[in-house]
Structures are given as structure tokens and as C-alpha cells.
Amino acid sequence: MNVALADSSSWTINATEPPATLEVVLVKERLVLAWSQFVYAEGGADQVRIAFASHDVVVKGAGLDPLMLAIATRRVASIREDTRAGQFSGGVGRFIREISVRKIEVE
């Protein structure tokens, strides 16, 4: 696997072939979502929403446009919530400040 990291190591991109899963690394837990369950993504430089059949993932930060492009081609292998998020509140550059994951309940 040929891997490229974002400036702050907030996300990992597989440059050769799309990975089968997206690993979401939160401060206190990890979640692995299958790209085959990907529905759509939307957002811009400061927030990206990634919708899967079972979960909604909202990524907040700065400089997230390249992440959005990588999601569109399903090249993202992992996204990581920074444990030092408070240090970046006024920062400049590319980073993920917060990731929230909501499980979609089917009734």
C-alpha cells in the first residue's frame, strides 16, 4: 500500500488503490466502516460530513478540502481526531479538530 499523510497526520490516503474500509480513530474509541456502505459526502474547508448506511461521520477542522476530494474517490484509509485539539483552535493549516459519529437507528 502506498500511503500519503496529511500535514498533521489527521488522515491517511491510500495512493494506489481504494481501501475496503475507513478507520475512524477517536480519542476514546475506534470505528471501522466499510466503503461499500458509503452513501455520500458533503462539506468544505471547515466541515465534512461522510454518510454511510449505518453511521454519519462529521469532521470539523481546517483545510479539509483535500480530505473531501480523497473521500470522493474513496482513497481515505483513516481519519484521526487530534488529542491536542485545543492547541489548534486558532491555528492555520490542515487539521481535524473534532470527529463526531452518530449511529443511524433503523426502526
Looking at the DSSP assignment, which residues form a beta bridge with residue 51? 40, 56
User: Residue 21 pLDDT more than 80?
Assistant: yes
Cβ count within 10 A of residue 75: 19
Lowest mean pLDDT among 6-15, 40-49, 81-90: 81-90
The pLDDT confidence band at residue 66, using thresholds 50, 70 and 90, is very high
Which grid coordinates belong to 78? 483513516
Q: Give the global pTM.
A: 0.84
Catalogue the E-assigned strands of 1-107.
3-5, 11-14, 21-25, 30-34, 38-43, 47-52, 55-62, 76-80, 95-103
The pLDDT confidence band at residue 53, using thresholds 50, 70 and 90, is very high
